Amino acid sequence: MGKSIWVYILAVMLAGCRGNIGEQPESQSDSIYISAVTHERQQKDDAFAMSPNSPFRDVKEEFTGLRYYPISPGWKVKCLWDKNHSGEVVSLPDSKGQKRAYTAAGTFKFRLQNRECQIPAYFEDSAKTMFFIMFRDSTNQSETYPGGRYIEFRHAGGDEIVLDFNRAFNPYCHYNHNYACPVVPATHYIPAPIRAGERKYGNM
């Protein structure tokens, strides 16, 4: 569950290839963006702390808030959308050993930290406007969840994609093993350290 999906879920819970990262002057639009992502993170923390549907509901340790990398607009990466194989149905395992069917959306290609990268994408809706990304990178184990992370977002149209790694998030099974989460394939590897988005939680 990602931004577009979990924002909806959080509401329910609470109510019932800009690739090279570097120091850049912060513009007004950057400040607005950082404030928006900060607000999203606080909403998620509030939901995880308060809701009976939180993945922490039956975890013994007290929820102390998720851990994140600092927000940087430089992690909004422009990608080219290669639609080859788009529409094909693929089967991938989840953490409980079950198979899940996904509709391929093609491949997102981008340049990050002077490396050529690409990552498979999947559609999450019949209208083909919601994308689901699963990825691994070199921060896994030491800094981020060993099983990799996800990104979900809605796309308005066109062949250029902006992949926002500040919104990368952990599977729920990182927090609670009762959940069944899609397993990130080893082939979904980005050859660059993605120090953006959610980090490992506590000592988990």
Q: What is the DSSP string of 160-200?
A: EEEEEGGG-B--GGGT-TTS--BPPPTTSB-SS----SB--
- pLDDT values of the chain reduced to their tens digit, one per residue, 204 residues: 444 444 444 443 333 333 444 334 456 699 999 999 999 999 999 999 988 888 888 776 778 899 999 999 999 999 999 999 999 999 999 999 999 999 999 999 999 999 999 999 999 888 888 999 999 999 998 999 999 999 999 987 887 899 999 999 999 999 988 889 999 999 999 999 999 999 999 765
User: Per residue in 4-58, pLDDT tens?
Assistant: 444 444 443 333 333 444 334 456 699 999 999 999 999 999 999 988 888 888 7
In this prediction the pTM is: 0.83
**Residue 52: what pLDDT?**
86
Residue 174 CA from chain centroid, whole number: 13
Q: How far apart are CA 67 and CA 82, in angstroms?
A: 33
Q: How far apart are CA 123 and CA 154, in angstroms?
A: 10
**Residue 157: what pLDDT?**
80
**Residue 59: what pLDDT?**
74
Residue 11 CA from chain centroid, whole number: 19
